[in-house]
Structure 1
Amino acid sequence: MYKKILLPTDGSTYADQEVERVEKLIAEDGEVIVLSVAGRLTSSAFQSRRKVKKVNEKLKKDAQKFVDNMASKFDEDMNVTKMVLTGFPAEVIHDVAEKEGVDLIIISASGKSGIHRFVLGSVAEKVLKNSDVDVLLVHND
């Protein structure tokens, strides 16, 4: 059994499968950290700072919704910590795992469709290759 599990989410529809795995693998007094990483745009000559700020706020709000939704799937007696951070997903996941001293990262092999599916796949791959702790890669159809 694992004492501390990191569960990154991008809001994909596979949360139930990931929650089931956490519940099977976590110690009775364990903690699950539900994390969503919001991307961050920077302003350019083609986009105003105000527009970029608005998009970044939306990305952060979406990430918070993803975390809240995932966390709500756990029983009330489960020790769940919610985190929303900004940055490059694979890097942030690695940093949180290290800083929080997690024993296991559970991440989906695929998530959203289209370009997001490709990006998430690369995030999962980077996490898997660079992690110093166990990673459970959940295959979703």
Structure 2
Amino acid sequence: MYKKILLPTDGSDYAEQEVERVSRLIADGGEIIVLSVAGKLTSSAFQSGRKVRKMNERLLKEAKDAVEHMADKFDSSLNVKKIVRTGFAAETINEVAAEEGVELIVISASGKSGLHRFILGSVTEEVLKTADIDVLLVHNS
């Protein structure tokens, strides 16, 4: 059993399987940290600052919604902390794990479809390669 588990989410529909596994692995009185990382776009010659700000606001809102959606799936008797950060996903996941003293990261093997699936796959792979703690890879089908 683990005292602190980090559960990164991208808002995909696979939350049920991850919630089930984390709920079984958390120690009595332990803490589950649900994290979503919003990417941050920068202005360029092709995108105005105003459009980029709007897109960043939307990405942040989606991250907040993803954390709320995932956290709501846990039994109310469990201690669930919600964190939303902006940055590069894999790097931020590992930073939060270190800051919070997490013992286990539970991450999905697949998430959204199309381009999002490719991106999530690369995030998952990067977390697996760079994490200093145990990582449980949940295969969703």
TM range (shorter): over 0.9
Determine if the alignment matches structure 1 residue 3 to structure 2 residue 3.
Answer: yes
Please state whether the residue corresponding to 1:60 is helix, strand or coil: helix
Please state whether the residue corresponding to 2:43 is helix, strand or coil: coil
Distance 1:77 1:96 in 2: 23
Distance 1:43 1:68 in 2: 29
Distance 2:3 2:39 in 1: 29
Percent identical = 70
Distance 2:46 2:125 in 1: 32
Distance 2:89 2:65 in 1: 16
Aligned length: 141
Superposed displacement of residue 53, structure 1: 0.3
Superposed displacement of residue 47, structure 1: 1.1
Residue ranges of structure 2 left out of the alignment (5+ in a row) = none
Distance 1:28 1:18 in 2: 18
Superposed displacement of residue 91, structure 1: 0.2
Please state whether the residue corresponding to 2:41 is helix, strand or coil: coil
Superposed displacement of residue 51, structure 1: 0.8
Distance 1:48 1:123 in 2: 28
Determine if the alignment matches structure 1 residue 100 to structure 2 residue 100.
Answer: yes
Determine if the alignment matches structure 1 residue 113 to structure 2 residue 105.
Answer: no
Please state whether the residue corresponding to 2:4 is helix, strand or coil: strand
Superposed displacement of residue 77, structure 1: 1.6
Q: Aligned ranges for residues 70-81 of structure 1 at < 5 Å?
A: 70-81=70-81
Task: Name 2:62's counterpart in structure 1.
Answer: 62
Distance 2:49 2:118 in 1: 28
Q: CA RMSD in A?
A: 0.6
Superposed displacement of residue 75, structure 1: 1.1
Distance 1:128 1:27 in 2: 23
Q: What is the identity, as a one-letter code, of the residue corresponding to 1:78? A: L
Off by >3 Å, runs of 4+ in structure 1:
none
Determine if the alignment matches structure 1 residue 85 to structure 2 residue 82.
Answer: no
Determine if the alignment matches structure 1 residue 25 to structure 2 residue 25.
Answer: yes
Superposed displacement of residue 76, structure 1: 1.2
Task: Name 1:140's counterpart in structure 2.
Answer: 140
